[in-house]
Every structure is written in structure tokens, then in C-alpha cells.
Amino acid sequence: MLAAFSVTLNQSDDRLATAQCLLGFRHTIHVTTLMGMQTQRDAFVTSMAMFTYLHNAADMRQKNVDAVKIGNFELNHVFAHSQSLNSEAIVAFVKSLCKVSMSELQSPTDPRVFSLIEIAT
């Protein structure tokens, strides 16, 4: 599924095909999370993150904007429902936020602070 979604997103500009692939990514990430398949989940998240083109905004197309909208994949939902996480999940969540925040701050040209803002709220 990872190859099918990735290749289609990479090569196609068809709105229906890209929408279906992004939906597939969303559902697959959800299922792998529920099943505790961290390696597989991370592979899907990483692959989908590449399609956001946030690292190269000048080359963004509509499918990349759509990937940002999906990737933005329930992020607000995760923050809003983080109070229902168990203690182990909270520790993993905060460690992940710290890791992302550090990588955002280490950008030599344009440090972003999105995750830091979310942590502070």
C-alpha cells in the first residue's frame, strides 16, 4: 500500500487519484497506530510528510496542499484529545513533540515554531 499510494501521489496530478491516496494514507496511519505497528506507521507518516513539500514550498502543487491539510492528519485532534492518553502514551507524545521542535529550531534559514506553539497552549 505504501508503494501504491506513494507512486500514485508522486506521478499523478489527477485530483480523484490523489484524494484517494491521501485518504488511504490517513486510514493506514490510523490502523497501524491502533495495532501498535510503530515502524509501519512511521513509514507511512514519513512518506506522507514528503508530499507536503513544506521543505520546498516554491514547488508546491494542489496535491501537496491537500497532503498538508490531511497531515495537519488529525494533528489538532491529537492535541485536543491528548488528555485521554495513558501515562506511557503521554511520555511518548511529549518526547515526539520535543524531537520535532528541536528539528524545527535547527533549520539554518527559517526555523519554524509550530510544535513549540502547540506545546505552550
What average pLDDT does this structure show over 94-105? Answer: 72
In this prediction, residue 5 has a pLDDT band, given cuts at 50, 70 and 90, of very high
For residue 107, give the DSSP letter: -
**Which of 72-76, 94-98, 103-107 is least confident?**
72-76
Highest mean pLDDT, choosing among 23-37, 82-96, 99-113: 23-37
- H or E stretch covering 15: helix 15-34
Strand ranges (E), 1-120? none
